[in-house]
């Protein structure tokens, strides 16, 4: 049973390789990574614990998405029982192209996949924004989107370059790239996360929030509208069903109502605290501790209480 890992430029796929290995070794298959992106990405993926890497050459002016047809052709040629990719946008595009070529289903919200007892791999996933969870058995080829995991640091598997002609890349050319480099924060690694939602009314209020984050030594995340639309934070700060999933020691949710799509990104927290002026806000049902009050009073009070405590 061959397991494929599809990578579009981000090599943090150690989690996928681990999952793939447990499935492949149960059935005598191999774990192959198909990588579109610079050679350095292929080399990092090679250290994730895969059996081999197929690399499609330096992209030059082509976006990784242009490689969808050639990646799909390789996977269908060699054969796949299971195809995995992380949830980043380039990975999704390549994965879906592979699934379309195989004519197979593609599933998202996957929390875990395991070998199962002889009748096919078993998948655990969240569905419909996180309102339900399902256990499913895979009885045919399937593509799965799941958390990539981190970088690999093991022995390097062989990297084979697959020759690609320009004509195979579908007429897409990058003409300009701007503003790529901004320090991104890995909220999944933060032991404490302060998340804000629409209860925070104005961008000018963010320094008050940042002061609390500093006092709590917490990373700052947000609900979806604050990262998209309002654009107060970059997209990698959005916590929710189609954003970051975090499980910190402490999750402090300020001005967040607790809708299911947000909660599926944070309910793994060890201790969850909610501050909201609505006593009926859904989030209190999933909170260990809460303060019902105006965040414009509570946030400065929390900052003061935290600063007092550390000075003592």
Partner 1 sequence: MRIVVAYKWAPNPQDATVGRDGRVDWSRTRATVSDYDAVAAELARRVVDAGGGEVVGVCVGPAAAGSGAARKAALPKGYDRAVIVADDRLDHLDTATTAAYLAALVRRIGEVGAVLCGDGSTDVGAKLVPAYLAGLLGWPCLMEVTALSGAPGEWVVERAYGAGTQQLRATAPLVLGVATDAAVPRAAGMKDILAASKKPVETLTADDLAEVGGVVGLRAGGVELIEARPPVLRPRRHQIFDGEPAAAARDLVAALRTEGVL
| Cβ closest to partner 1, residue 30 vs residue 286 | 286
Q: How far is the CB of 267 from partner 1 (least distance, A)?
A: 7
| Cβ closest to partner 1, residue 44 vs residue 126 | 126
Which residues partner with 193 through β-bridges?
Answer: 219, 251
**Counting contacts by CB under 8 A, is residue 312 touching partner 1?**
no
Which of 18, 30, 205, 286 lies at the binding interface for partner 1 (CB under 8 A)?
Answer: 286
**Counting contacts by CB under 8 A, is residue 304 touching partner 1?**
yes
Q: How far is the C-alpha of 50 from the C-alpha of 126, rounded, in Å?
A: 27
Q: How far is the CB of 195 from partner 1 (least distance, A)?
A: 15
Sheet holding 31-36, edge to edge: 122-127, 106-114, 142-146, 82-85, 3-8, 31-36, 52-55, 159-161
Residue 143 CA, distance from chain mean position: 16
**Counting contacts by CB under 8 A, is residue 297 touching partner 1?**
yes
**In terms of Cα–Cα distance, which of 295, 289, 296 is closest to 273?**
289
**Counting contacts by CB under 8 A, is residue 270 touching partner 1?**
yes
Per CB under 8 A, contacts with partner 1 among 3-62 are none
Length of the chain: 312
Residue 132 CA, distance from chain mean position: 19
Number of residues that bind partner 1 (CB under 8 A): 102
Which of 28, 77, 178, 280 lies at the binding interface for partner 1 (CB under 8 A)?
Answer: 178
- 10 Å CB burial of residue 158 (0-12, 13-18, 19+) is exposed
Q: How far is the CB of 17 from partner 1 (least distance, A)?
A: 22
Per CB under 8 A, contacts with partner 1 among 112-141 are 122-123, 126-141
| Cβ closest to partner 1, residue 157 vs residue 209 | 209
Q: How far is the CB of 13 from partner 1 (least distance, A)?
A: 18
Instruction: Sketch the per residue contact string, 203 through 222, with partner 1: x for CB under 8 A, - otherwise.
Output: -------------x------
Task: Quote the Cα angle for 192-198-202, to 5°.
Answer: 100
Angle between helices 89-102 and 68-78 (to 10 degrees): 50
């Amino acid at each position: 049973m061959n397991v494929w890992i599809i990578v579009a430029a981000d090599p943090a796929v150690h989690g996928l390789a681990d999952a793939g290995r447990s499935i492949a070794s149960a059935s005598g298959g191999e774990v192959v990574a198909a990588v579109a992106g610079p050679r350095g990405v292929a080399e990092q993926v090679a250290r994730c614990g895969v059996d081999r890497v197929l690399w499609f050459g330096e992209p030059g002016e082509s976006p990784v998405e242009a490689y969808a047809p050639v990646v799909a052709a390789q996977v269908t040629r060699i054969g796949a029982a299971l195809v995995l990719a992380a949830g980043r946008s380039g990975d999704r595009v390549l994965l879906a192209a592979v699934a379309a070529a195989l004519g197979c289903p593609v599933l998202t919200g996957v929390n875990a996949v395991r070998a199962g007892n002889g009748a096919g791999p078993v998948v655990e996933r969240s569905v419909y924004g996180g309102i339900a969870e399902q256990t499913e058995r895979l009885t045919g080829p399937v593509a799965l989107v799941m958390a990539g995991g981190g970088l690999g640091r093991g022995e390097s598997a062989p990297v084979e370059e697959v020759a690609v002609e320009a004509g195979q890349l579908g007429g897409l050319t990058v003409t300009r790239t701007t503003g790529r480099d901004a320090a991104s924060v890995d909220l999944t690694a933060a032991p404490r996360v302060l998340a804000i939602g629409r209860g925070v009314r104005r961008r000018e209020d963010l320094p008050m929030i940042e002061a609390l984050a500093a006092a709590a030594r917490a990373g700052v995340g947000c609900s979806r509208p604050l990262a998209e639309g309002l654009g107060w934070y970059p997209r990698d700060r959005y916590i929710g069903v189609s954003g970051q999933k975090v499980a910190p020691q402490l999750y402090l949710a300020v001005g967040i109502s607790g809708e299911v799509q947000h909660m599926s990104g944070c309910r793994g927290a060890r201790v969850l605290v909610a501050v909201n002026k609505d006593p009926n806000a859904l989030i209190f049902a999933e909170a260990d501790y809460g303060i019902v009050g105006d965040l414009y009073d509570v946030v400065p009070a929390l900052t003061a209480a935290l600063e007092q405590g550390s000075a003592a």
